[in-house]
Chains A and B, each alone.
Chain A
């Protein structure tokens, strides 16, 4: 599957709702911006992951829930959650 700005934002919300055990309606989209990431793990490698060192364009998705901010990163092939409880997670690829 190939992601786009809209469907990947929706997927990010669904993922966060599941992780926080809340409904999607409780999550607000703070911003979605096109960004250059330093590599093909979008600067958010999981443990034991190696990434191609090519500048990659994607989206930074900032969500807000229960007064906290959460950052997702995505490109057309993948969606990642950045720095959630200190670690990065591949949500879908």
Chain B
């Protein structure tokens, strides 16, 4: 090769290498953009595809709880016969995990979701490909897109959940709902938020609840009551039987729990207003659906103790009550407020005015109490619901509400009992979006983000129905 030929060949080689490098960057950019988890209506629809045998991808992506080291998670991963595939740069706390037992991504993700001491999120690593029809518009898909205006879950009974999306089904009034589809664009909840359901217990094995049930982390010591001794409170607390098992034997608590947080978008049953949350069952009512003031106080004390021990209990749902005033119960609820716990209570079902005939605990004039009336599917005050311009704060859907029930079942029920967990649930949704919000500001946000209704004018303090989208702010 003479000197001239050498330079010609050298120049051609440089051009080819540069071209190949640019092409590689474009492909990388394209693949990065198409793999982005940001939902967008106009981006080509992602389609999950099965892995081929010769194309081994990590099964799941998990987010480590703050403070958990790689060594700690590696130990747990190896125990599951899995391996850490990669630490995801620039996405703080996320790692990908490879399962060596050939299980499905969902199965593996479900297993890791239960490791709440170490992990806050776990999701299958879906491969994404373009919808063939839309793939021709690739250049358009590379442009920034606006987010979707609504997100709808795939739960098969969702169309019956008028409270979350009222399209006028069964004679209802369209849009007489919580605007959940719009709210879910901003957040679908967080497993960092704990909502205590103070009730008849919760069926924590229900397939639509099991993933969102609170489990006492190993870092939190077992509960010890001064009089009753120690409890294995792995699943919550049972004040009715001075025991550790808060399993529901009535159904009411399981129904309320499903309204707060039946797992959403899981191809199963219904969706809670929170798709992700932690539900802490506090049982104080027995099989008949009634219990004593003393046991309610014991259970509230338990929630306060767990909060002090580091559990992020932010809301107590109280779908119960009576006409009996109890100073001791009032003091217990006040103490919960001093720990930053919001107490959401049913206004009662006697069709009466709570300003004149007080109903407790909803009538306690405390800075952490929200009293809730019930609406029907036409945005009218339910015929059974109590009201009170001074003492009842907000209204929420409470008639013909479909939710989880005992024995893996689902059932419609009515009452201010059903309206209350929608309010507790919206409070949890706000906290998922703004974890540092104070209890006082949280309460104010719920009360001031209502949709005003003529039917509630002069009936309740806010004059409106809660609106999850508005509650999340801009």
Contacts and interface: CB of A to CB of B under 8 A. Distances in A.
B200 interface: yes
Interface stretch (B39-47, B413-421, B465-473): B413-421
Interface in A39-84: 39-41, 43, 45, 47-56, 75, 77-78
Secondary structure call for the A interface? loop
B287 A47 contact: no
Given A39-B349, A55-B349, A55-B415, A50 B290 contact: yes
B291 A53 contact: no
A93 interface: yes
B14 interface: no
B74 to A, nearest CB: 46
A4 to B, nearest CB: 16
Contacts of A38: 348-350, 384, 415
Interface residues of A, number: 20
Interface in B61-110: none
Given A38-B350, A48-B324, A53 B417 contact: yes
Nearest to A46: B290
B319 A51 contact: no
A87 to B, nearest CB: 12
A51 B323 CA distance: 10
Interface centre among A49, A51, A78 (most CB of B within 10 A): A51
A48 B284 CA distance: 13
Interface centre among A49, A78, A93 (most CB of B within 10 A): A49
B319 A52 contact: yes
Contacts of B286: 93
A51 B465 CA distance: 24
Contact of A51 (B294, B320, B414): B320
A50 B329 CA distance: 11
Contact of B293 (A39, A50, A52, A78): A50
Contacts of B264: none
A-B pairs with lowest CB-CB distance, top 3: A40-B289, A38-B349, A54-B415
